[in-house]
Amino acid sequence: MDYSARINSYIKQGVSVEGALAAIAAVDGVGYVDLNYPEHFTDGIDVVSEALKQHGLKLNSIAVRFRSRFRAGEFTGPLAEITDDAYALVGTGVDVARFLGSDLVTLWLGYDGYDYAFQKDFVSATDLLVDVYRRLADEHPDMRFSIEYKPYEERVHTMIPSSGFVLYLLERIDRPNVGATLDFCHMIMARDYPAHAAALLLAAGRLYGIHLNDGYGGSDDGMIVGSVHLWETLELLYWLRRGGYRAPIYFDTFPVREGAAGELSANVAATNRLLKLLESRDGEHIQEVIESQDALLGAALRLELLGGGRP
């Protein structure tokens, strides 16, 4: 697996964008970064482009970030001029991604949602989202657009709250260059099951990105990989391997009291260790256990994966 890193982990600890890219490149095993537009480009796209080249990093995805101006909703809010501005912002993000050598633009619509009863026309709002993604896909056929969902935050309820809704939305959008990004914490918050969501999207050929992290489910904790939901993380990695996932895994974690470089290294080490556990076991045996639907065989498999051998 290839790995991508979050540069805000460094920026929030007082490091510049260029300094963050240099520090990330020094972590063994990380060859990609995900960048936010426009926040990571205040010094200009050429500065970022040169830093990427200098440190041997590739751009995985541009994540378009909508800030407080769009707080009533990026595409489903009450003001048409705000919607137009949001669409234009995505278009500029597309140009930036293309210039930096990526064909992937990730859209998390954190403000498209509602907080109170009788605050949203759910049917017309969904129709608007379908139209926006279709327009983007048709206007930029060389690019891929990835829907990242989250059940809440920034709004009490978001318009795209679950993996099931994403699958529904993708079916309605019906464009070959629109897919989904799954964030582990977001899935736990939504009480989705990570492996289930990934398996279905992989089977549909629409899993464009994985944000790996962990948390307790109440909020977007952004903790070190496997630190809370070890087995769910391992099973997710199993299905990524089985389904032929080839894109980088992005570590979307939020060190606060931990050093950013040390925390990134911990994510790499944890993920590598879990992948090695899977590689060291017979894949056909794992699949046989899954197909048996036998909870006791599943328990035995988990013990085996811990290194105890088959009981």
Supply the CATH classification number for the domain 3-278. 3.20.20.150
Alpha-carbon torsion angle 91, 108, 9, 216, nearest 10: -170
What span, in angstroms and rounded, lies between the C-alpha atoms of 188 and 186?
5
Q: What burial class does residue 310 get, using C-beta atoms within 10 Å of its C-beta: 0-12 exposed, 13-18 middle, 19+ buried? A: exposed
pLDDT in tens, 112-137: 999 999 999 999 999 999 999 999 99
Residue 149 has which token pair?
């969902």
DSSP for 240-280 reads HHHTT--SPEEE----SSS-HHHHHHHHHHHHHHHHHHHHT
Cα–Cα nearest to 207, from 166, 235, 238, 168: 166
pLDDT at 3 over 90: yes
Contacts of 267 (CB under 8 A, 6+ apart): 3, 212, 224, 225, 251, 253
The answer to whether the CB of 83 falls within 8 A of the CB of 124 is no
Return the domain boundaries, the chain: 3-278, 281-310
- pLDDT-derived band at 24 (thresholds 50, 70, 90) equals very high
Residue 273 has which token pair?
């260790």
- pLDDT-derived band at 306 (thresholds 50, 70, 90) equals confident
pLDDT at 310 over 60: no
Q: Quick one: pLDDT at residue 309?
A: 53
Query: Mean pLDDT over residues 175-180, rounded?
Result: 98
Q: How far is CA 95 from CA 21, 38, 104, 109, in A?
A: 21, 12, 11, 19
